[in-house]
Amino acid sequence: MKFAPVLRISLLAVFILALIFSTSGVLAANRAAKITIEVTYFDNYQPIRSLDPSDVSDKIFVGNSEAYVGKGIVTIPLTTSSGVPLADPNSDTDVPGLHVERGRDSTGQYVEFTSFGMHIIEEQRESIKFKIKLIDATIDEAVNGPSTKTYENAQDGTCGITEGGGAIDDDSDNDEYSVVEGGTTGTFCSVVSGKIDQVRIYYDVIPIPPVIPPVVNNTNQTHPGNETNHTIPGNNTNQTIPGNNTNQTGGNHTNTDVTPPVITNVNVTPSLPFTFNLTIPGLETCQNFQITFTSNEYPLNVTVNLFKDGDGLIDSMKYPPLNNSGDLPIVYATPMDLRVGSYTLNLTAADKSGNAVTITLGKIFVINGTAIPGNNTNQTNPGNNQTNNTNPGNNNNNNGGRTTRKTTNIISLADEQPTAKASPVLDEEESIVLNTPKLVSKPSSGLVWLFVLVGLNVILVIVLLVLASQRL
């Protein structure tokens, strides 16, 4: 009976471990979902007596960040690479553009869109239209609000924005949104004055289908009425009857495509190599790269992979099938949490038969105010030997010491803000990963041996006490 509690505890521990491993397996089977947002129209109106001007724009803000992640078109992640939903800090601060917040509640994971008015004078209006497309996720449902901050008269088919007449003619009592439940797209129309317009979209991540072992075809299998090596009367012996058998000499045989697509004229904008300087205030590793190329065949399945030198694959973006050159450019958005180091960007293109070719697009460097080792003139990217290098060595004009230069970010963007990133349909991205795990150091070998010796001494004392008690 003494072992019953121990047995129950052991069974409970096994159950908990099994639950943890099964849950982690489910998460690992989900894709890294993303969302592309495109602001298609915006306008402002304020009377002359206004003290608080309208300030809506095509800038897109995420969470409580004071810096926008992009203008016009951006793609941001909804989950981590293992399918875990991302959550942003709550924020009710009026921003000069569209506000986005990711999170999870009792209903599920969601992405929330907010248009701020909050004007003293009700006649002021901020008007904005935008559309969304989910990547590797589907829309579960749309909830208006969910608080008192709602789209007025939504889903009656009427949008209060009159694009030709300007915001002075817009009707703040006629907001509108339309989403496809079970689909991936949605459109939104918001006219806001003294209040706030808000809508929340719940989504489901598309799971990765299980890998089904391929069916092995026995090329020498005989089928009734269609046997190989059958002799036709009057014809040559061992002539194959026309049909659908392997190794036949006639019939409806189709040659299998075994040639990968030919990809040429590859171009990346902005050009690679590309450098992020983490010492520039407000700048994170968030950048869209537009990729174009020519191919000798379509459709193509394209995947862009980002490798960290020495660590392997850290990000992968799979795009919808490209049916023709009109589907280009594709846009890859770098994650926002890249660590200092060098990265390699690759593109893989596969035809409908699965033949694939991989192309190296170039290098991406993340620095922290110091140059990456190389032999460049006043620049942080590795290159050819030149003078005035910032690294100690055999450089001219070095004056016998080390010189550290802060590089200027080569992102060129209006208002000196971080650039948006884009995606297959629109553009790309920002990545905010919460609850970063902490690293816990292991005890030193000396401490381990100390614990072992103390344990042995305790056991020895107990044994001596038992023996002494028996003699007494």
Please state, in angstroms and rounded to a whole number, the distance separating the CA atoms of residues 40 and 128: 8
- In this structure, the answer to whether residues 190 and 270 fall within a common structural domain is no
Helix or strand (DSSP H, E) at 37: strand 34-45
Provide the 3-class DSSP secondary structure of residue 372: coil
Instruction: Tokens for 331, please give them.
Output: 């846009």
User: 218 lies in a domain?
Assistant: no
Residue 304 domain-assigned (yes or no): yes
Question: DSSP character for 217?
Answer: P
Has residue 241 been placed in a domain? no
Whether residue 55 sits in one domain with residue 200? yes
CA angle in degrees (0–180, nearest 5) for 355-361-366: 135
Which residues span the domain enclosing 67?
A: 33-205
The pTM of the full predicted model, rounded to 2 decimals, is: 0.45
DSSP string covering 287-349: -EEEEEEEESSS-BEEEEEEEETTTEEEEEEE---B-SGGGPPEEEE--S-PPSEEEEEEEEE
Together in a domain, 84 and 179: yes
Q: Are residues 56 and 154 in the same domain?
A: yes
Which long-range CB contacts under 8 A does 178-183 form with residues at least 24 apart? Answer: 179/139, 179/142, 180/139, 181/139, 181/140, 181/141, 181/142, 182/138, 182/139, 183/138, 183/139
Same domain, 291 and 173: no
How many structural domains is the chain composed of? 2
Q: Is residue 194 part of a domain?
A: yes
Residues in the chain: 472
Q: Cα separation of 11 and 341, whole Å? A: 46
Residue 56: the pLDDT is: 93
Indicate whether 183 and 331 sit together in one domain.
no
Residue 250 belongs to some domain of the structure: no
Query: Considering 160, 189, 205, which residue would you say is the last residue of a domain?
Result: 205
- 157 shares a domain with 295: no
Q: Does residue 315 sit in the same domain as residue 409? A: yes
161 and 280 together in one domain: no
| Residue 235 within any structural domain of the chain | no
Write out the chain's pLDDT in tens, 472 residues: 454 554 454 455 545 544 544 444 444 467 789 999 999 999 998 887 777 788 999 999 999 998 999 999 999 999 988 788 999 988 888 999 999 999 999 899 999 999 998 887 778 899 999 999 999 999 999 999 877 889 999 988 999 999 887 788 899 889 999 998 899 999 999 999 888 999 999 999 988 777 676 666 555 554 555 544 544 455 444 554 454 444 444 445 556 788 999 999 999 999 999 998 887 765 677 788 999 999 999 999 999 999 999 889 989 988 889 999 888 999 898 887 788 999 999 999 999 888 999 999 999 999 987 544 443 434 444 444 443 444 444 444 433 333 333 333 333 333 334 444 433 334 433 333 333 333 333 444 555 566 777 778 778 878 777 777 666 5
Question: Is 67 a domain residue?
Answer: yes
CATH code of residue 280: 2.60.40.2550
Do both 193 and 67 map to the same domain?
yes
Within a domain: 188: yes
- pLDDT, residue 7, reads 46
Contact 339, 436 (CB under 8 A): no
Do 44 and 192 lie in a common domain?
Answer: yes
Which one-letter amino acid corresponds to residue 382? P
